[in-house]
Amino acid sequence: MNETYVDLYAIPRMTEARLRNLVERFGEPEEILKAGKRDLLEIGGIDQELVGAIRSYRRSDETNQRILAAQNLGVRTVRYQDPEFPQNLKELAYCPPVLFARGEVREEDRLAIAVVGTRRLSPYGRQISEKLAQELAQHGVTVVSGLARGVDTWAHRGALKAGGRTLAVLGCGVDVYYPPENRKLYDEISEHGAVLSEFSLGMEPLAMNFPKRNRIVSGLARGIVAVEAGERSGVLNTAAWAADQGRDVFAVPGRIGDRNSVGTNRLLHDGARIVTSVEDILQELGVALHLEERARIPVAEDEKPVLDFLSGDPLHVDEICQGLGMPVSKLLSVLMQLEVKGLVRQLPGKLFVKQI
């Protein structure tokens, strides 16, 4: 982790826009703290007061302790210039200069959909959130959400259940577990995707952070799906960001008069695409065509029974051996061939899932 970004965010009145201007001018964050007064004042948005704060900055014991704790968690900084920085975010006019990340962002995460909704979801909303996320993940789509209670939680769980990838965007520091009951889920996501935040270490989950967080949720994805949303739900804010960013907006229809359907039905009235099954989303993404192309990939005679045996549910290599009566050495060779063809994916712990 580049500790200097934590230092820079600890400087009073430092904002994302100002930090990005500084990084564009000086290149490395360490150079900002070494810069002279005249050079700093040449940067847009940098005034005398901020220059004084930069030049007099000294790391506090509290900041140092947070850095050490975050390093123990495996937190990293991903700059917008880095290859790992999410490509979808780079398309935005005002992407953050740095993300604090626990886990890994991959190139395949460009094909992503955000599943969002109310914290006070109904049993139906819980079922739909988990089902849509699970089916998206089974088709190789990364599921993005905000790790909040309700729809977000079940969206992440659905993606993990399918053995897929999921990205969680926090409205607090990446070293802050919020909500606290999702601590285990936070750890699971960091192993099968990433937990991300534009906020510096130790930032509390303040109400004003979440509208800013929502632009990252939508910006990471090709589109958003609103499952349930009330009249004043933050989901409407995320949908507005998505529309402004040129992302697709989908919504699950709800019953007239149901308070959890007011927001989603309004989105549909305003032109959101209706979702009655995962196919409605996949077709808009072009994934259906991708799957048809994949179906034409030649499969050898010894590969076909293995491919037919696998599904979207992870299976251990021993289970596959037992089910097919195939020697493990032969099975591993076949699985490797299928993985090269993009038809099978290996998960940690010698687990395998079908990619179609």
For residue 25, the model assigns a pLDDT of 93
Looking up residue 187, the CATH number of its domain turns out to be 3.40.50.450
Can you point out the beta strands (E) in the chain?
76-79, 98-103, 112-116, 142-145, 166-169, 193-197, 223-226, 248-251, 273-274, 315-316, 344-347, 351-354
Residue range 203-257, pLDDT digits in tens:
999 999 999 999 999 999 999 999 999 887 889 999 999 999 999 999 999 888 8
Same-domain status, 280 and 328: no
pLDDT > 90 fraction of the chain, expressed in percent and rounded = 75
Kindly tell me if the per-residue pLDDT of 31 is higher than 60.
yes
250: helix, coil or strand?
strand
Q: Report CA Rg, the chain.
A: 22
From residue 210, alpha-carbon distances to 17, 110, 319 in Å are 18, 23, 44
Higher-scoring residue by pLDDT: 17, 101:
101
Does 153 fall in a domain?
Answer: yes
Give the pairing of strands 351-354 and 344-347. antiparallel
Give the residue-averaged pLDDT of 287-307.
76
pLDDT > 70 fraction of the chain, expressed in percent and rounded = 97
Kindly tell me if the per-residue pLDDT of 355 is higher than 70.
no
Cα diameter, the chain? 75
Kindly tell me if the per-residue pLDDT of 72 is higher than 70.
yes
Looking up residue 301, the CATH number of its domain turns out to be 1.10.10.10
Q: How confident is the model at residue 286 (pLDDT cuts 50, 70, 90)?
A: confident
Expressed as residue numbers, the domain containing 301 is 297-354
- Comparing CA positions, the residue from 176, 168, 92, 179 lying closest to residue 133 is 168
| Count of structural domains within the chain | 3
Calpha distance 148→205 (Å, rounded):
11
B/e letters for 45-83, b = 16+ CB within 10 Å, e = fewer, are ebeeebbeebeebeeeeebeebbeebeebebbbbbbeee
Kindly give the interhelix angle for 151-161 and 123-138, rounded to the nearest 10 degrees.
40
Same-domain status, 321 and 279: no
Same-domain status, 247 and 156: yes
For residue 292, the model assigns a pLDDT of 56
Calpha distance 169→160 (Å, rounded):
16
Same-domain status, 304 and 348: yes
For residue 44, the model assigns a pLDDT of 86
- Predicted TM-score of the model (pTM): 0.79
